[in-house]
């Protein structure tokens, strides 16, 4: 007969509780993007003032403060390292995929370089809004373009909304671009990249505040490996593969 050691049982229980607490703590805590701290501190001050007036107003302020902290979260992402992969620059849903389009008009690119596929990722106010570089290369142009604040889900937002456009050249001289687009709520785009800078896949490159969209332009011969309606994780989800000749993905509704 096998004897049962109560001491080992207690140790196993202790380890299980520690693992559970560690998991809960890692889920509830996350890094905050530096651009968010002024907003968070502002929410804290307003919440304190509201609490002096009314407990209910103070509670509302506290909820909004927690939402602000959540909005500016900057979670750790595990970037795929296989050569040729293009990863999503943002969290959100793929809202559209358009073929045979030109690069944004603000870029200084010959008309002969017009055959691109545009993949649009729409971010709602609950998505992570920290943006990442989709692919390793050299930044050729970074252009800020003032504009309107239409609903970022609209097709014409690509041309009419305020945006920041980045053109990157790969080692094999291919050009691709990605565009941070302001939306109806988003009123501030931050792009930290500079002309001539060497960037790596998954590198932090900026943030869009409060709801927006990011478009990425894939060069001819590079098929998207995502479909409309698919959920994206910035820095992790593979959008395409430069080195693959796989056909564009199709989806079914289950």
- Provide the 3-class DSSP secondary structure of residue 48: helix
Contacts of 12 (CB under 8 A, 6+ apart): none
Distance CA 221, CA 190 (A): 31
Catalytic residue numbers?
A: 212
Q: How many residues does the chain have?
A: 254
C-alpha to C-alpha distance for 17 and 196, rounded to whole angstroms: 51
Residues 119 and 89 sit within 8 Å (Cβ to Cβ): no
- Burial (Cβ within 10 Å: 0-12, 13-18, ≥19) of residue 200: exposed
């Amino acid at each position: 007969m096998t004897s049962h050691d109560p001491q080992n049982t207690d140790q196993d229980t202790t380890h299980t509780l520690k693992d559970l607490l560690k998991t809960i703590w890692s889920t509830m805590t996350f890094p905050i993007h530096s651009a968010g701290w002024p907003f968070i501190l502002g929410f804290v001050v307003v919440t304190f003032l509201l609490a002096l007036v009314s407990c209910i107003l103070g509670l509302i302020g506290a909820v909004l403060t927690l939402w602000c902290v959540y909005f500016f979260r900057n979670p750790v992402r595990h970037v795929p390292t296989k050569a040729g992969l293009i990863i999503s620059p943002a969290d959100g849903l793929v809202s559209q995929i358009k073929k045979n389009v030109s690069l944004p008009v603000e870029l200084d690119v010959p008309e002969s370089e017009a055959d691109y596929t545009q993949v649009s990722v729409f971010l709602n106010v609950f998505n992570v809004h920290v943006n990442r570089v989709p692919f390793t290369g050299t930044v050729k142009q970074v252009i800020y373009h003032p504009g309107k604040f239409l609903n970022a889900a609209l097709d014409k937002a690509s041309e009419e909304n305020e945006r920041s456009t980045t053109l990157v050249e790969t080692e094999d001289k291919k050009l691709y671009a990605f565009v941070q687009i302001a939306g109806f709520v988003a009123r501030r785009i931050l792009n930290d990249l500079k002309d001539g800078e060497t960037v790596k896949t998954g590198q932090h490159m900026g943030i869009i505040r409060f709801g927006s969209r990011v478009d990425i332009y894939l060069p001819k011969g590079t098929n998207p490996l995502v479909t409309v309606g698919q959920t994206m994780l910035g820095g992790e989800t593979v959008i395409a593969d430069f080195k693959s000749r796989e056909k564009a993905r199709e989806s079914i509704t289950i």
